[in-house]
Structure 1
Amino acid sequence: MATQVRHPIWLPALKTPGAHTFAILYAVESFARASVSSVIPIQIYDILRDEQAVSLVYTGVAFAGISVTLFMPLLIERFARRWVYTAGVAGLILGALLFLTPWLWSQMAGMLCRVMGASALSITLNLYIMDHIRKTQFIRAESMRMAWSTFAWTGGPTLGVALYVNYGILAAQAVPIVTGLLLLCLFWFFRLGDNPMIRPGTTRPASPLANIGRFLRQPRLRLAWLIAFGRSCFWTTLFVYAPILMVSTGQGELAGGLVVSAANALLFSALIWGWAGRRFGARNTMSFAFFATAAMLVAAGIAGEAAPIAAAAFLLLAAFFCIALDALGSTAFMRSVHVWERARMTAVYRTYLDLSELLPPLVYSVTLAFFGLGSVFVTLGLFVATCGVVTFVYLPKKM
């Protein structure tokens, strides 16, 4: 029959996918995305020559990204998960090819392809992790995954900009294309299997609105989303407002880039926070991380434009503590979601990423109308502290 395939004898000898498998896939995927993360806004600005117009483009793509994320379960339930993952890689590659063109519409199409690809990869990889990693090993696996992505998010943006400036757009966009092909080869080499409980095409998929309603009716999923949203708001704020602080106070663009790169370099500490989570419990560690991050943010806000170097130091300390939430935060979701609705709930859960890019700038636009740039970090610090209180009160002690 056409469905019967004779595999080479060495394939069955592959080890069962484990924490290292997903750490490798995530590290390669991260490099494919990080390498042009700083190049894309430069390309868009070169076309529009207007900062506000660039912001509007990113806002429009972010709104589209939320819709794509919410509809992703329809694809996962209709097709085998491995094909959705493959389509996600293809989205990253197609996006890079579109960025080689000089038109605004094609640049926006490339951004949307990247969003669609990242959404498909994030959701399917999380589903694979929940299938192959025992609940008791989630903390170890997630901390390892974050640590292995350190190089990608530290060196990737710098490499992409250097290639773009010195060798042009083709050299910069060649990196995600080549890395995407490598990721595709690795994925099929590891031969990750689908969860038999998720059968494509056997039931009528629920609508995105129904999925949102189901998600909101589960307190633990709401809490997991808040934890993820809180930490994502920190990184969004750091990437945007730390460079602005450095430039506006005369420290220079290089200083702003160094702050962001140094914060990303601290991702290796995810292994330390993974150990702390296993030793002291996820609830205690995450609550402490929220409160410590909030304290450093408030200190950075107070230092603000009067003492930008001190503010940068406090922001780096905040990043160190926030990495604990990167290493441990997703375990709250993975341990709470029901097996039979993982695909649908994972899609809703991932909206924290899109909303963290939309909501904080709207709030900051209000505070900046009355106060200085330091108010951004103070405002975020108060919200992060609130997340810490909610986490300590409502997250189960044995989580």
Structure 2
Amino acid sequence: MATQVRHPIWLPAVRAPGASTFAILYALESFARASVSSVIPIQIYEVLRDKQAVSLVYTGVALAGISVTLFMPLLIARFARRWVYTAGVVALIIGALLFLTQSLPTQMLGMLCRVMGASALSITLNLYIMEHIRKTKFIEAESMRLAWSTIAWTGGPALGVFLYTRYGIEAAHGVVILFAVILLCLFWYFRLGDNPLIRPGRIRPANPLANIGRFVSQPRLRLAWLIAFGRSCFWTTFFVYGPILMVSSGQGEMAGGLLVSGGNALLFSALIWGWAGKRFGARNTMAFAFAATGAMLLGAGYAGEAAPVAAAVFLLVAAFFCIALDALGSTAFMRSVRAWERPQMTAVYRTYLDLSELLPPLVYSVALAFFGLGSVFATLGVFVLLCGVVTFVYLPRRM
């Protein structure tokens, strides 16, 4: 095809990209991002020395991230997708270099570069997956991709903090640069081609606001977004309020770290949930996972600070069930979006990630004004149960 990348004949032949191709790329990307996921908050806090100010910085970067995500289709329509993916990797490298300084403006720019890089990589990789993986293989591919990232998200944060405290800031962010360079080399080695339906410079990109309207007008895309938003709200709450529960109840910071690592270590179960999705159907499996996650969250809310160990167990079990939504949830979007509007709709779809970091804390602040920390998990539990009902009622059985 005219849009395929041409290479000298002496280059070795590469197999057609499959599920393992995207699992490898995602695992390397996960290492590049996860290794400093626990370092960056520490760096920002050391500069500001104010927890509220840190929250404001994260909120501002998250709002900017939504804008970046919505405008990403403009870049994809203008440039070849392989160059947008490459720019995403370069943004991670630039972000790591900016974090080597100790000034607030450069560190905020570093955070924004990470957001831009993650957005570019996520959207383009999802587009590649939808083009190279058959719809009947989406569940298998997504569960494999998630499972392969287990090591990155389990050991990456601890590795980053260890390097930061033991060898300094250069070592921590040096790991990001190392994995980003390996990712970029491997991406070009795989030589992924662009879809001829999405030709750079020949398609007039739609206005981002029009893309939102187009997305909202399609019921299946709305449902896919709700599924993704529900599971992302759980992980945001788990990563932030799980450790707070451990610290505030006197269990210590190490207990909070072990709780988060334990939840990440369960990502290997994505393969199990992938099998369950094929055996019992994605709709039934996801509805069950929502129901079980919601029940465990209500249990964690009831235990609360009075029984923190029991609450931690409930949260870990909830994480196990929520991983089913990670493994299967994106298939609802991938099987519903039309091929000719994938870039635009993928950008809108990805806003679930940014909004899940903004909206839950606002809701929780109201609950915490009247009740204890357990109310956070109970509130989320009710919402997750509602997501399960909507999923079971409206998601097609054949999805």
What TM bracket, shorter-length normalisation? over 0.9
Q: How many residues align?
A: 396
* 1:35 aligned partner: 35
**Distance in 1 between the 2:80 and 2:390 partners?**
37
* 1:125 aligned partner: 125
* 2:298 aligned partner: 298
Structure 1 4/116 Cα, relative in aligned 2: closer, same or farther at 3 Å?
closer
CA-based RMSD: 1.0
Conservation of the 8 A alpha-carbon contact between 2:5 and 2:191:
no
Secondary structure at the aligned position of 2:250 is classed as coil
Structure 1 6/76 Cα, relative in aligned 2: closer, same or farther at 3 Å?
closer
**Distance in 2 between the 1:163 and 1:10 partners?**
38
For the pair 1:317 / 2:317, whether they are aligned, the reply is yes
**Distance in 1 between the 2:27 and 2:242 partners?**
25
* Deviation (angstroms), 1:204: 1.8
* 1:212 aligned partner: 212
* 1:379 aligned partner: 379
* Deviation (angstroms), 1:102: 1.1
* 1:7 aligned partner: 8
Conservation of the 8 A alpha-carbon contact between 2:300 and 2:310:
yes
* 1:187 aligned partner: 187
Once the two structures are superposed, what CA deviation does each residue of 1:312-342 show, in whole Å capped at 9, x if it has no partner?
Answer: 0000000000000000000000000000000
* 1:114 aligned partner: 114
Aligned partner letter, 1:7: P
* Deviation (angstroms), 1:9: 2.9
- TM-score w.r.t. structure 1 length? 0.98
- TM-score w.r.t. structure 2 length? 0.98
For the pair 1:269 / 2:236, whether they are aligned, the reply is no
Note the 1:1-399 alignment, pairs <5 A: 7-11=8-12, 13-399=13-399
Conservation of the 8 A alpha-carbon contact between 2:139 and 2:278:
yes
**Distance in 1 between the 2:307 and 2:380 partners?**
19
Q: Percent identity?
A: 80
Structure 1 5/256 Cα, relative in aligned 2: closer, same or farther at 3 Å?
closer
* Deviation (angstroms), 1:6: 5.2
* Deviation (angstroms), 1:5: 5.7
Once the two structures are superposed, what CA deviation does each residue of 1:288-326 show, in whole Å capped at 9, x if it has no partner?
Answer: 000000000000000000100000000000000000000
Structure 1 4/349 Cα, relative in aligned 2: closer, same or farther at 3 Å?
closer
**Distance in 1 between the 2:5 and 2:32 partners?**
34
Conservation of the 8 A alpha-carbon contact between 2:230 and 2:387:
yes
Once the two structures are superposed, what CA deviation does each residue of 1:157-187 show, in whole Å capped at 9, x if it has no partner?
Answer: 0000010011110010001000000000010
Once the two structures are superposed, what CA deviation does each residue of 1:329-358 show, in whole Å capped at 9, x if it has no partner?
Answer: 000000000000000000000000000000
**Distance in 1 between the 2:378 and 2:11 partners?**
57
Once the two structures are superposed, what CA deviation does each residue of 1:254-310 show, in whole Å capped at 9, x if it has no partner?
Answer: 000000000000000000000000000000000000000000000000000010000
Aligned partner letter, 1:389: V
Structure 1 155/6 Cα, relative in aligned 2: closer, same or farther at 3 Å?
closer
Secondary structure at the aligned position of 2:75 is classed as helix
Structure 1 runs (4+) deviating above 4 angstroms are 3-6
Structure 1 208/4 Cα, relative in aligned 2: closer, same or farther at 3 Å?
closer
Query: Structure 2, unaligned stretches of length 5 or more?
Result: none
**Distance in 2 between the 1:288 and 1:130 partners?**
26
Secondary structure at the aligned position of 1:228 is classed as helix
